[in-house]
Structure 1
Amino acid sequence: MFNIITRNGLILALFALCCTGLVASVNFFTEDRIIDQQRKQLAGILEQIIPNHLHDNELTEDCILVTNQEFLGSDEALPVYIAKMNNEPIAIAIEAIAPDGYNGDIKIILGVNNDNELLGVRTLTHQETPGLGDKIELRKSDWVLGFSNLLYDPNSKPMAVKKDGGDIDQFTGATITPRAYVNAINNALAFVSANRESLYNTVNHCGREND
């Protein structure tokens, strides 16, 4: 009996070792491909909010990290991508968190130029309710397109959903999600407007170092 138990234990251990080795091998050989796909996905999103014809640099390589929980919704460092034309900064793409979504954090990214014009907004990650709050995804709804070309004025009333007296449509049966989303946009725009020069003058430290 002891020999049988020992043999079965060895077989299980060998099987676990082989599985571990297989998983490690798959991760090793696919890691570069996954990273490449992630970069392509990021580049595609950046191109949507700051079109390529507006800049001549590689946005994914011209990046800094910033931390500001009050305005960006997180105490973790978030990336800021600097768009340039002829080596002159013309726009910023910045990630931000809406910490008060219906089901938790909503991560967004928005593009804004030097005139405080909102070039575009996209949703990166969320856990909002399917069929209601998930309309913040472009593939589910064109709601996020309504923010394009809006002007931010730090001296004017911030954007708000219609239920809060603003002009931004909310979703039928769901107000918490769009309200949190709009607040995150307002805060990010306020952060950029107040810190644009320092952002432009910060040394790149999240671009090629990730290679």
Structure 2
Amino acid sequence: MTSQIPAALKNALRTGVILFVFALIGTAILAYTHTRTEPTITRGQLAEKRALLSQVLPATLYDNDLLASQQSVPPDDLLGTRQPSALWLARRGGAFSGAVLEAVAPDGYSGDIALLIGIDADGTVTGVRVTAHRETPGLGDYIDRAKSAWIDQFAGKSLVQPEPKHWKVAKDGGVFDARAGATITPRAVVKAVRSALDYFARHRAAFAAPPPVKETDA
């Protein structure tokens, strides 16, 4: 009986060593694969983000690296955000030329609607895109540019064009079209874009301030 104990321990030890070696090899393979593919994945993500930004803010408006200009913005009721969001500042010839804001329409039919809003230096919307939503397919999802061109009607709008009382869907006496039977969703988006313009107007001076000069070693 006692002679069987060392044999059992040896078998358990051998099995443990084999499992450890396989785990070590597997981890090494995963680490190697990650190291090899991470740059490609990162480049793809950056390209996707750059393409999305260019949809809401025309590249002709800026000559700086828009991605590198990203800043964190504290939660703000005008943006509909409950956690920090992102802001990108555009410059051309060193002068402020526009911004891209992340905003949220919190009162969509099925919950939050995440938005990306481009605004030029004069406070005019250059483009809007829905980046995330849970609206009903075939009913309220027409706010998504992949489904329809509905979202394009915000381009060219500002706090004064149309006048404030007409920043509504047509059913409510405003200028923004909305499909019959699915007005809750567009109402939420219209309200969110209007509020984002208010946010931009209140912070424009800070956005337009020259970027801090980086200190260099003497």
TM-score exceeds 0.5: yes
> What TM-score do you get using the length of structure 1 for normalisation?
0.81
Cα 1:153–1:13 shift into 2, 3 Å: farther
Residue 150 of structure 1 pairs with residue 157 of structure 2: yes
1:208 — aligned with what?
none
Shift of 1:35: 2.2
Q: Which is worse superposed, 189-198 or 152-161? A: 152-161
Tell me if 1:58 matches 2:82. Answer: no
- Report Cα offsets for 1:71-90 as digits up to 9, x if no partner: 11112111111111100001
Match of 1:40 among 42, 47, 52: 47
> Which protein, 1 or 2, shows the higher relative CO under an 8 Å CA cutoff with sep ≥ 6?
1
Tell me, yes or no, if structure 1 residue 128 matches structure 2 residue 135.
yes
SS in 2 for 1:151: coil
Corresponding residue number in structure 2 for 1:209: none
What code does the residue aligned with 1:141 have? S
2:186 pairs with 1:178: yes
Could you say which residue in structure 2 is the equivalent of 1:4?
Answer: none
Q: 1:67 to 1:145 in 2, by over 3 A?
A: same
**Percent identity of paired positions between Structure 1 and Structure 2:** 36
Partner of 2:38: 31
Residues 128, 12 of structure 1: alpha-carbon distance in 2 compared, 3 angstrom cutoff: farther
Letter of the structure 2 residue corresponding to residue 115 of structure 1: D
Whether the 8 Å contact between 1:161 and 1:168 is mirrored in structure 2 is yes
Unmatched 5+ stretches in structure 1? 1-6, 205-211
Deviation at 1:188, TM superposition (A): 0.6
How far apart are residue 67 of structure 1 and its match? 1.6
RMSD over aligned CA atoms reads: 2.8
Structure 2: which 5+ residue stretches go unaligned? 1-13, 213-218
User: 1:16 and 1:173 mapped to 2: Cα distance?
Assistant: 57
Larger Rg computed on CA atoms: 2
In structure 1, which of residues 119, 137, 142 is the aligned counterpart of residue 144 of structure 2? Answer: 137
Q: For the residues of structure 1 that align with 2:166 and 2:25, how far apart are their CA atoms?
A: 58
- The number of residues matched between the two structures is 204
